[in-house]
Structure 1
C-alpha cells in the first residue's frame, strides 16, 4: 500500500472493483470503508504476535538456562555410567578369571578321575587265578536261565563265577570322594550363579538409566525418522530473528491498514452525505466509529487535494485483502516458530526430568554398589575354599589310583610268588620222599643187625646188664607239619640258638 513502504507490490486486479478507473462514487467509498474495517480484524494477529515475542523471550531464557544445567548434569551422569560400566566389567573380568582357574582345576580332576576309572576297568578284566584257591561268589549272584543248561552254558556260568581283582576293591572309599567333589562343584556353581545374578541386576540398573536418558516412552508415538531431504532444524537465534522480522512486518502492514481505514473515513467525511450513506449501507457485522456520523465540519480540502486522496485510496483499496492475507500468513509462520520454540523448551524440560530420574536411579545403584562388590568378594572366598578342597580330593583320587595300580602290580607278584612256593614245596616233597626211603632202609638194616646180634649173644648176657638191648630199632619218620607248628618250631629253635 502506498502508505507503507514495506508493503508488497500490488497484485493484478481480480475483481471489477480492482479495475475501476476514475473517482469512486459514494457507494464505492462505503465498500472501501467496509473492506478496510474488516481488514482491521488482523489486529488480533498483531496482538498475538506481540504475545509470542514476549513469551519467546522468556522461553529462550528458560531454554538457555535449562540447556546449560542439563549439559552439565548430562556430563556428570555419563561419567557415572562409565564408572559403573567399568566396575561391572571389572567384576566380570574377576569372575571370568576365577572361572578359568575352576576350569583348569576341573581339567586336572578329570585327568585323575579318568586314570582312576581306567585303573578300575583294568582290575575288572583281571580274573583271579584258580590256583590261589579263591571261593566262587554266592550262587545268588549268578543268573540262571532254567534248570537245564548246555555244556557251553555251564562253562560260561563257571567263568562268570570266577572272581576279579575288582571284587577286592572297596568302592565306597573313592565313591565317597567323588560324591564330595560333586558337592564342591555344586557349591561353586551356586556361588557363581549368585555373582551372575548381582552382575545382571547391575547391568539392568545401568540399562534403566540409559533408557531414561533416551526417553523411550512406549505410550507415545515413535518419533519421525529424519530423511536426507528434511531441512535441518533452525537455530534458536534464527527462530528469534524470524519472529522479530515477522512481528515488525506485521506491525507495519497493520499500520498501513489503519492509515487506509482513516483515509476511507476522511473520504466519506469530505463527501456530502457520506456519513448517512455509510450508516445505512454498513452490514450488521461491521461496526464503525461514531466519529464518522458526528455532525462535525471536516478540515477544508480543495478539489485537487480530494482528487489525490481518492486516487491514493483507490490504489490502496486494491491491496487491502493481500495485506490482510500477508498478516495472516506471517501470523501462521510465527505460530509455527512458536511451536518449534515451545518444542525446544519442552525437550529441555523433559531432559531435565529425565536427568533427575537418572540421578535418582544412580543414587539407588550407589546404595546397592557395595552389595555387588561384596558378592565378588564372597565368590572369590568361596572359590578359594572350594579350590583347596577339590585339589585335596584330587590328590586322594591320585592316591587311590596309585594304590590300585600297586594292588594290580602286587597281584602279578603274588602269582610269581605262588609259582615259586609251589616249586619250593615240590622240591621239599621230593626231598622228604627220598628221606623217607633212606630212613626206612636204614631202619630195616638196623633192625636186621639187632636181630642177628641177639641171636648170637642174647642167651649169654643177663637182661639187667644192658637194659633195652633186646628192644626194636628206633624208627624215624618225615611228616608234614602245619604253619602254626612250623612257626612254633622256628621260635623254639631260635630260643635254643640264643
Structure 2
C-alpha cells in the first residue's frame, strides 16, 4: 500500500511539474492552491509542497523533455484508476481489520475488567485470610478436644458393651439353670408320685391282711 501511495504522489508531483512548464499552468495551480477550505494549511496538489513553492521558477525544459514528461503522464494516467481502486480495496480491508481490532480490543477490555474484578476478589480474600487462618486454628483446637472426648466416650461404650455381653451370658446361664432345676423337680415329683402310689398299694394290702387276721 505504501508503494501505491508513493507512486500516486510521484504521479501528482509530475502533474504539477508539467503544469508549471505549461503556458497558463502556473495561474491554474495558484488558483487551486488558493481555493482551500478555511483554516486548512496551504498545500500543493501533491500535498507535499507548500503554496510558497508554486512561486518558484523552474529551469526551462526542452521540447523533448516536455514530450517525454507528457508520455510518462499519459502512461501513468491509464494506471491511476487501477491504483485508486486497489487503494480502495486496501482501505476496505483496513476498515474490516479495524472493526476486528475494535472487537478484539473490546474483548481484551472485558477480559481486563474481569481480571481486575478477580484480583479485587482475591485482594479481599487476602485481607480476610489471616482471620480465616485464626478461625481454622481455633476449629482445629476444638476438634482435637472433641476427638479426646469422643475417644473417652468410645472407651465408656466399650466398657458398657463388655458389661452387657457378660450380663447376657450370665442371664443365658441362669435360664439354663432354671430349666435344669425345673426338670429335676419334675423328675423328683415323678419319683415321689410313683413311690406314694407304691406305698398306698402296700398300705392297702397290709390293711386287708390285718382285717383277715382279725377275722381268724
Task: Give TM-score scaled by structure 1 length.
Answer: 0.28
Residues 421 and 363 of structure 1, relative CA distance in 2, 3 Å threshold: same
Distance in 1, matches of 2:171 and 2:55, equals 134
Residues 400 and 294 of structure 1, relative CA distance in 2, 3 Å threshold: same
* 1:204-353 mapped onto 2 (5 Å cutoff): 256=5, 260=9, 263=12, 267=16, 270=20, 271=25, 272-277=27-32, 288-292=40-44, 294=51, 296-298=54-56, 300=58, 302=61, 303=66, 304-305=68-69, 308=72, 315=80, 316-339=83-106, 342=109, 345=112, 349=116, 352=119
Residues 331 and 312 of structure 1, relative CA distance in 2, 3 Å threshold: farther
Q: Secondary structure of 1:289's match?
A: coil
Is the contact between residue 14 and residue 73 of structure 2 (CA under 8 Å) also seen in structure 1? no
Distance in 1, matches of 2:12 and 2:134, equals 72
Please state how far the C-alpha of 1:420 moved relative to its aligned partner.
1.9
More helix by share: 2
Bigger relative CO (Cα 8 Å, ≥ 6 apart): 1
* 1:141-156 mapped onto 2 (5 Å cutoff): none
Alignment match of 2:158 (pick from 387, 407, 414): 387
Residues 391 and 261 of structure 1, relative CA distance in 2, 3 Å threshold: farther
1:401 paired with 2:172, answer: yes
Please state how far the C-alpha of 1:416 moved relative to its aligned partner.
0.9
Distance in 1, matches of 2:140 and 2:75, equals 85
Q: Deviations over 1:314-352 (max 9, x none)?
A: 635454423433433443444455456556656655665
1:423 paired with 2:201, answer: no
Please state how far the C-alpha of 1:382 moved relative to its aligned partner.
3.0
Residues 425 and 385 of structure 1, relative CA distance in 2, 3 Å threshold: same
- Specify every segment of 5 or more residues in structure 2 that has no aligned partner in the other structure, as ranges: 45-49
For these two proteins, the number of residue pairs brought into alignment is 187
Task: Give TM-score scaled by structure 2 length.
Answer: 0.54
Residues 380 and 309 of structure 1, relative CA distance in 2, 3 Å threshold: farther
Distance in 2, matches of 1:298 and 1:317, equals 30
Residues 339 and 375 of structure 1, relative CA distance in 2, 3 Å threshold: farther
Distance in 2, matches of 1:310 and 1:288, equals 31
Residues 395 and 413 of structure 1, relative CA distance in 2, 3 Å threshold: same
Match of 1:461 in 2: none
Residues 390 and 334 of structure 1, relative CA distance in 2, 3 Å threshold: same
Q: Deviations over 1:441-486 (max 9, x none)?
A: 99x9xxxxxxxxxxxxxxxxxxxxxxxxxxxxxxxxxxxxxxxxxx
Q: Which runs of 4+ in 1 moved over 6 A?
A: 431-442
Q: Deviations over 1:376-406 (max 9, x none)?
A: 5544443332232133223323322222232
Distance in 1, matches of 2:57 and 2:144, equals 95
* 1:42-191 mapped onto 2 (5 Å cutoff): none
Is the contact between residue 11 and residue 76 of structure 2 (CA under 8 Å) also seen in structure 1? no
Q: Secondary structure of 1:420's match?
A: helix
Match of 1:80 in 2: none
Is the contact between residue 11 and residue 73 of structure 2 (CA under 8 Å) also seen in structure 1? no
RMSD (CA atoms):
5.1
